Structure 1
Amino acid sequence: MSRYSVAALQHRYGSRWRWYALLTVMVTTMATVLSATSINVALADIMVTFNLSQGEVHWLATGYLAAMTVSMLCATWVLDHVGIRRATLISVLLFSVASVVGGLSQHTGQLLVSRLVLGALAGLMQPMSIFLVFRVFPPQQRGTVLGFYGFGIVLAPALGPVIGGFLVDYFSWRYVFYAPVPVTLMAAVLAWYFLPVKGPREQRYRFDFVGCALLSAVLVISLYMLNDLQYHPLWTARSIILLGLSLVSLVAFVVYERWVAHPLLNLALLFRRQFLYASCGALGLGLTMYGTTYLIPVFSQTALAYTPTDAGLLMLPAGVVLGATLLLGSRLTDIMLSRNLLLAGMVLVVVSALFFSQSAVGTSFVYLATCAVVSRLGMGLLLPSVSTGALNQLSPDELSDGSATISFVRQVGGAYGINIIALLITKTEGVSAQLLPLSEFSIAWLFMAVALIAMLLPVSRLRN
């Protein structure tokens, strides 16, 4: 028996082992979230360094999420063929290397490639974390466990902008890339001691390279088309061709995934009504989590002329509140319907977005911080209820597919949400050296509110 089999780890550490494993995946995910969120307060300085416009620099956030969206669907195959221990060790070490390379970037291409690699590695790690939680803890404890897991995760987006702002103001934006490295190295040590090796080898199956290529084409073409709308209207031949290519790729992906024996994305789950309704909540969560984390720093720095440190401090109270609310929300998921918590969380985020849309140049720091707090109150209810609402109805054999699919939907909400927000707040080139019109930010906040309102109806039909 291996020293790192589940039985050996349980014998060595007793009942505490499950919590040690939880701590390991929590630290791993914290590194990815820190990398995803701390970059936002550095975008203004990166724009100056590489002479980029707002429409170009947002690719550092969107590209990260797009790569993450595709790679997280590969997590099921990686879990089945490599195992969570080896995959985590390799991923966190490569993440450290890619972070350093990004910080040393001398041109835009190198910077973007490093962000794509970081996003791809993050996409592999996050579904593995949820998969482990649902594998080693019983159903009646999962809500509470997700709360503790989520509490650790929200420390990263709470502290990420503050740390990033401090590093940008007193050192350089390059140190924002270096910041996750100590966390990933810590995760590697924990993974070596506490994560189990893969169980008995099951029948191997081929990786879905065709599905991966088709999905990548859908995301790249459609996201590029959205970004291109800043310069070419939708009715131009260029935009129509890009739209047509993305739709053809999407249809080809759906048809192929329904036919192949081991699909990259288990579309059958999305044809189950209850899972589909929970997925709408995940879509709203992605838009909320990544959209606000991107929009608040950009809004405060470009429209209100905040320093990077002030922009980070603006989000700090909201992060603390999110951690506290997440613990409460996770307890509530064990005794309440996921539907009710999802609806309450979405309503709070809608209210926050509406109040943000009324901000003006003279709006006080307290008003903006309060709006951010209300938004994070909603997220504290959304985070645990999305996972339990979607995955508690699945069989153990479906958990890996289910966790990958629900994570994929969440990332789609974030990637397209940020892209649309960037489209709304700037429409022309040459805006990197001037303050953006506040009215454009108001439209972006209203878009977020309207999008979430549209998702309330399907979420209200969730029954489990």
Structure 2
Amino acid sequence: MATPQVKPPATPEVRPWPALWALVLGFFMILVDSTIVSVATPSILTDLHTDVGNVVWVTSAYLLAYAVPLLITGRLGDRVGPKKLYLAGLTVFTIASVWCGLTDSIGMLIVARIFQGFGASMMTPQTMAVITRIFPPNQRGKAMSLWGATAGVATLVGPILGGVLVDGLGWQWIFFINAPVGVLGFVLAWRLVPDLPTQSHKFDLLGVALSSIGLFCLVFGIQEGQKHDWGQITGPITVWRLIIVGLLVIAAFLFWQAKNKGEPLLPLSLFKDRNFSLANTAITTVGFAITAMTFPLMLYAQSVRGLSPTRSALLLVPMALISGLLAPLVGRLTDKSHPRYLAGFGLLCCSVSLFWLSQVIEPTVPIWQLLLPISLLGVANGFMWAPLGSTATRNLPMHQAGAGAGVYNTTRQVGAVLGSAGIAVLMESRLATNLPQMQGMAAEGGAGKLPEALQQGFSDSMAQSMILPAAVLLLGVVAALLFSKPNFMDQPAPTEAAAKS
């Protein structure tokens, strides 16, 4: 009698696009939450009786808690599975969002935002890792275009939704709205995202400690510098000592990563790939600029032009619409064209648009003159995200997908953290120079229109602040122009038989 053959269990069919759409919903929520707070900043500032230096920490604390764990959450996704970690992060993010809405003090809001940022850090690397693992290299541009379009649409939905909620229900509802979206996102990801094979990884706890301490000291020192006149914070702790300690600890972290013979938190071998290194440099400048530019623009719109939060957010409609329309086209081009031309063009447009804004921001400038550079910013967003994301990960081996995604998102978020801290310092510095009578914009800079005598000085301060992110983006332009042709573009197209197999 013949021994019956036992068939191995069938591998569930991976459906890449439904899985990506499910993950993009969570990514969209994270990005909306980053942009939605900017339009509510004046209301939070007034309602919680605080000042600009403190209220910017509502964003900076979120971004810092988002950025620091990304290296380990990317690696953790490889070990426990990107789907499981994504669902865990979505749960933390949703619960923390409700907590944010229930707070009644600036200190507790900052604490809740830290937990929210940690949840986001668990989710974000899994999106890119799944794209890398379930899409072939010559289709990742299209997949990344959806990722990029999500960022563009979030820049529209976030501020507008924030404006509507702040005007109608109060700033707390910009956080409460995440609860139903989080539940829906959880159900979709549970059903549509595949359980991918896991890989064993060790964790570099010393690396986690060094990177966390270094980043915190550096960002805290930069952001608190203006408030403390770049002098003493408390006891023997001064601003410059804190910044120097941060830089030294980060240097120690990099040294440890180079010497660690096990599995370092930051695999420096990833940076042997030229495009990976350059894409990380470029996305750092993008994170810096996109985060930094929203603060002066929204404060100018509400405090000088007297626009409501909703009408202020409507200024960004051209940017989001153009970005969303261009993303699919750029995604197709990314799979066929050299990335240096697409990404370089997008980054240059972004820098030019912010320089342009810095020249036209005035108390009585016609609104249409503001919309022109904002529209150019939409072109920039359409051309930046997909080419940078796909170029960073295309040449990486599959077993390093999670680590590569973690590093890429970490550099983007580190840029965002530094952008938030840097723009806070520059705004307060410019206000102290142009409007010393406002004393750091403690009361007058909240919700509502400023007296006419203060509007010119306030406009000048916000315009001058815009130059910082515009200048930083030029570094990204240089990095993008140095991209080499991706490996897959040098390989012959697969035959019909190979494609079917």
TM-score range for the pair, normalised by the shorter chain length: over 0.9
Closer/same/farther in 2, CA of residues 33 and 7 from structure 1, 3 Å limit: farther
Please give the per-residue CA displacement for 1:193-238, whole angstroms capped at 9, x wherever unaligned: 1122352x54452x22221121111111111111122134557782
Shift of 1:246: 0.8
Counterpart CA distance in 1 for 2:187 and 2:44 is 32
Residues 1:453 and 2:474 aligned together: yes
Counterpart in the other structure of 1:417: 419
Match for 1:42 among 25, 34, 40? 40
* Worse-matched range after superposition: 233-242 or 366-375: 233-242
State the secondary structure of the residue aligned to 2:441. coil
Counterpart CA distance in 1 for 2:18 and 2:461 is 46
Match for 1:374 among 364, 373, 376? 376
Please give the per-residue CA displacement for 1:351-378, whole angstroms capped at 9, x wherever unaligned: 2111111110111222222221211211
Q: Which has the larger radius of gyration?
A: 2
Please give the per-residue CA displacement for 1:119-175, whole angstroms capped at 9, x wherever unaligned: 111112111001101110111111012112332443222111111101111110000
Closer/same/farther in 2, CA of residues 231 and 88 from structure 1, 3 Å limit: closer
- Structure 2: gaps (5+ residues): 1-7, 433-438, 446-456, 486-501
Aligned length: 453
Whichever residue aligns with residue 66 of structure 2, its letter is M
Checking the alignment, whether the CA contact within 8 Å between 2:289 and 2:472 is kept in structure 1 is no
Checking the alignment, whether the CA contact within 8 Å between 2:201 and 2:263 is kept in structure 1 is no
Whichever residue aligns with residue 393 of structure 2, its letter is L
Counterpart CA distance in 2 for 1:203 and 1:410 is 26
Counterpart in the other structure of 2:248: 248
* Worse-matched range after superposition: 51-60 or 266-275: 266-275
Match for 1:363 among 359, 362, 365? 365
State the secondary structure of the residue aligned to 2:53. helix
Counterpart in the other structure of 1:9: 12
Counterpart in the other structure of 2:492: none
Counterpart CA distance in 2 for 1:121 and 1:391 is 23
Shift of 1:7: 5.5
Closer/same/farther in 2, CA of residues 421 and 430 from structure 1, 3 Å limit: closer
Counterpart CA distance in 1 for 2:471 and 2:110 is 31
Counterpart CA distance in 2 for 1:330 and 1:6 is 36
TM-score, normalised relative to structure 1: 0.92
Please give the per-residue CA displacement for 1:403-438, whole angstroms capped at 9, x wherever unaligned: 111111111111101211111111355413224722
Counterpart in the other structure of 1:259: 259
Shift of 1:293: 3.6
Match for 1:69 among 67, 82, 85? 67
Counterpart CA distance in 1 for 2:358 and 2:167 is 28
Residues 1:433 and 2:421 aligned together: no
Counterpart in the other structure of 1:210: 206
Checking the alignment, whether the CA contact within 8 Å between 2:347 and 2:384 is kept in structure 1 is yes
Counterpart CA distance in 2 for 1:353 and 1:202 is 43
Counterpart CA distance in 2 for 1:113 and 1:254 is 29
Match for 1:404 among 396, 403, 406? 406
Counterpart CA distance in 2 for 1:341 and 1:440 is 33
Checking the alignment, whether the CA contact within 8 Å between 1:84 and 1:196 is kept in structure 2 is no
Sequence identity, in percent? Answer: 26
Shift of 1:118: 0.9
Residues 1:224 and 2:220 aligned together: yes
Whichever residue aligns with residue 390 of structure 2, its letter is T
- Structure 1: gaps (5+ residues): none
Counterpart CA distance in 1 for 2:147 and 2:390 is 13
Whichever residue aligns with residue 433 of structure 1, its letter is A
Counterpart in the other structure of 2:494: none
Shift of 1:282: 1.0
Checking the alignment, whether the CA contact within 8 Å between 1:285 and 1:379 is kept in structure 2 is no
* Worse-matched range after superposition: 250-259 or 271-280: 271-280
Whichever residue aligns with residue 401 of structure 1, its letter is A
Within 5 A, what are the aligned runs for 1:154-165?
Answer: 154-165=152-163
Shift of 1:26: 0.6
Counterpart CA distance in 2 for 1:379 and 1:156 is 11
Whichever residue aligns with residue 431 of structure 1, its letter is M
Shift of 1:317: 2.4
Shift of 1:188: 0.6
Checking the alignment, whether the CA contact within 8 Å between 1:6 and 1:197 is kept in structure 2 is no
Counterpart in the other structure of 2:390: 388
Whichever residue aligns with residue 211 of structure 2, its letter is L
Within 5 A, what are the aligned runs for 1:46-445?
Answer: 46-199=44-197, 202-205=199-202, 207-234=203-230, 238-260=238-260, 261-270=262-271, 272-358=273-359, 359-427=361-429, 429-435=439-445, 437-445=458-466
Closer/same/farther in 2, CA of residues 323 and 222 from structure 1, 3 Å limit: same
Counterpart CA distance in 2 for 1:143 and 1:24 is 18
State the secondary structure of the residue aligned to 2:69. helix
Whichever residue aligns with residue 52 of structure 1, its letter is T
Counterpart CA distance in 2 for 1:155 and 1:274 is 27
Counterpart CA distance in 1 for 2:325 and 2:279 is 23
State the secondary structure of the residue aligned to 2:484. coil
Counterpart CA distance in 1 for 2:461 and 2:264 is 41
Whichever residue aligns with residue 76 of structure 1, its letter is G
Counterpart CA distance in 2 for 1:432 and 1:458 is 39
Checking the alignment, whether the CA contact within 8 Å between 1:289 and 1:379 is kept in structure 2 is no
TM-score, normalised relative to structure 2: 0.86
Counterpart CA distance in 2 for 1:157 and 1:254 is 34
Whichever residue aligns with residue 434 of structure 1, its letter is E
Whichever residue aligns with residue 55 of structure 2, its letter is V
Closer/same/farther in 2, CA of residues 422 and 213 from structure 1, 3 Å limit: same
Counterpart CA distance in 2 for 1:226 and 1:455 is 22
* Worse-matched range after superposition: 326-335 or 99-108: 326-335
Shift of 1:54: 0.9
Counterpart CA distance in 2 for 1:7 and 1:110 is 50
Counterpart CA distance in 2 for 1:77 and 1:401 is 5
Counterpart in the other structure of 1:20: 18
State the secondary structure of the residue aligned to 1:431. coil
* Worse-matched range after superposition: 160-169 or 211-220: 211-220
Counterpart CA distance in 1 for 2:115 and 2:223 is 21
